[in-house]
Amino acid sequence: MMIICVCRVGIHCYNVHNRNSLCRTNMLLTWRIRNHVSSIRGISICKVRECLTERGQNLHWFESSRQELHFPRTTGLYFDTKLADGRIDTASCGTATKGSTMFTEILLALVVGGVVYFLVQRSKRHQLKSEDGWWGEGTPMAGEEDLSIRPYTVQTDDEELEDLYRRIDQTRPFPSLEDSQFNYGFNSHYLQKVVTYWRRDFDWRRQVEKLNKFPHYKTNIEGIDVHYVHVRPKNLPEGVTAVPLLMVHGWPGSFYEFYRMIPLLTQPSNPDDIVFEVVCPSIPGYGFSEAPHKKGFDSVCAARVFHKLMKRLGFQQFYAHGGDWGWIVTTNMAQLEPKIIKGLHLNFAPPSKPGLPVVLSIMLGRSFPKLFGFNEHDIQRIYPVVQNLVVESVKESGYMHIQATKPDTVGRALNDSPVGLAAYILEKFSTWTDHDFRNLDDGGLTRKFSLDDLLTNVMIYWTSGCIISSMRFYKENFSKGLDQPHSKMPVHVPTGFACFPNELMHTPKLWVQQKYRELKTFTPMARGGHFAAMEEPELMAQDIQNFTKMILRSQLDTMRGACKFDQSPHYFCLKQ
């Protein structure tokens, strides 16, 4: 059997029955195989004869009118040729071993095939599929779906507060280790100060009024009531429509994370800024959204529910922003309906399916940072790899292993103890804001947040009783394995990324681009950590503004000429 391998540097021919000799040319020649006889055109026959005679080869050859060299299938040749003055001469001849030549050819074929496969797969655009679900109790109700939208008001009463105070008063303190700060979790000494403030100074009724300053609603989707905040801008110029923006929270956050951002987006002080219409839903099982009553409600299901919510509100297209779980929910929304999501803005995007570029960047990025687009901050956050990527992940992922396996067990304890719940949640607002806060006696909590804001978020979990169902979201997502269709599927929606320096998991630009193929903006932020919307609302709002302006202007440029547009960037809809 004759094997012929063609590549850019030449033709390699050899016979698997007789590998004592091989034929190779260093330029691309034509060849043909006919009746088990191979021919290579253009090689000087006299040179072939000389070479074979020197090596003592017994070759049956003949010269045709076309000056073609023919040799039987049981013979192999090895030639080096070069082009000089328009003719081909044999430069040398020799013997190649089976191992070196076959290995080279097989390796070359694998590399070429791999590159072709990678390019083909990269060019494909897949769309995530998801079927409707029913998450209410029992079987789906007969008749038409209830599409009504009901106003909702956050409420409290004396009974709720008395129960809270009674439980706080009955808490049993336990001393922290000496000189442990927040390295063992929430420091008990500082926790007592937080509890004292909670019991004596924190005014939940006043915070409820603050929560209700924005309109709340509920609507039933797939059998469960979905809560959301919907803020429409006021006093818009005539003929102007605001840009719809969906913002999705994560754990252990809530819709309240966005409260300081909302006015910056719906009532911007800069007349050149875009005016947004903001929708902030609570993920089912979080806050005031009803918890699913059946197993299987994961991020894809949440994405589908939020698409239905936005459609019910009358939005045919909209922008989306997410962090933490909001990252994967909004990403799934872009994968489900890429034509509906006009732009996707994120501040958290760890590699869900690390590919070869990510692996190579980790291996070689420290030595060749420019090759992978790494800056000094990237190097500091990634290397040394074992310490910064492995050890740090282990330190901060203990909660995830519990919630991804047996959430109900620890959830029961947290659901009964407001102090335990506060310690569990607020410890994340310390370490995830800046991992160096682990070495502070107070966890650095009030350096970035007020105790009122922190305890308001805790109270949303406490009064709604949602801690168990919120933790189940980890179980539902991880129990299906890491190799889910959406984890392997790239996103082909215009994307903007705000890279905050103290984010829990650092993601360089190259890593973001592997998933988000239309990355339009990548902004290294001046400061901020995991809860960036709550910690740095001005920075986050401005980055959303810049990203959306860029998308709108590019769309206006493509449509200009067919329609007449106002020059102000906040004019979202075309004017007749």
pTM metric for this prediction: 0.77
Residues of the chain by 3-state class (helix, strand, coil), percent to 5: 40, 20, 40
* Pairing verdict, β 216-221 and 224-231: antiparallel
DSSP 97: -
DSSP 274: P
Place of tokens 């009531």: 225
CATH class of 184-353+397-559: alpha beta
- Catalytic center residues: 324, 474, 530
Rounded-to-integer distance, Cα 10 and Cα 423, Å: 69
> Residue 85 in 3-state DSSP?
coil
User: Does the bond joining 244 to the residue before it have cis omega, within 30 degrees of 0?
Assistant: no
Is residue 549 exposed (0-12), middle (13-18) or buried (19+ Cβ within 10 Å)?
Answer: middle
**Angle, nearest 10°, between helix axes 418-431 and 451-464?**
130
DSSP 564: B
Contact 183, 438 (CB under 8 A): yes
Cα 16 to chain center, whole Å? Answer: 49
Other CB atoms within a 10 A radius of the CB of residue 381 amount to 18
DSSP 60: -
Rounded-to-integer distance, Cα 279 and Cα 215, Å: 10
- Token code pair at residue 49: 């004869």
pLDDT tens track of the chain, all 576 residues? Answer: 333 333 333 434 434 344 343 443 333 333 333 333 333 444 444 444 454 444 444 444 433 333 444 444 433 433 333 333 333 333 344 444 556 666 677 767 766 665 555 554 555 668 898 889 999 999 998 888 899 999 999 999 999 999 999 999 999 999 999 999 999 999 999 999 999 999 999 999 999 999 999 999 999 999 999 999 999 999 887 877 899 999 999 999 999 999 999 999 999 999 899 999 999 999 999 999 999 999 999 999 999 999 999 999 999 999 999 999 999 999 999 999 999 999 999 999 998 777 889 999 999 999 999 999 999 999 999 999 999 999 998 999 999 999 999 999 999 999 999 999 999 999 999 999 999 999 999 999 999 999 999 999 999 999 999 999 999 999 999 998 777 888 889 999 999 999 999 999 999 999 999 999 999 999 999 999 999 999 999 999 999 999 999 999 988 877 665 554 444 544 444 332
Instruction: For the chain, give every domain's residue range.
Output: 2-122, 184-353+397-559
Rounded-to-integer distance, Cα 546 and Cα 183, Å: 38
Phi and psi dihedrals of 98, rounded to 5?
-60, -45
Rounded-to-integer distance, Cα 354 and Cα 288, Å: 35
Residue 129, sorted as left (phi over 0), alpha (psi -120 to 50) or beta, turns out to be beta
Contact 348, 530 (CB under 8 A): yes
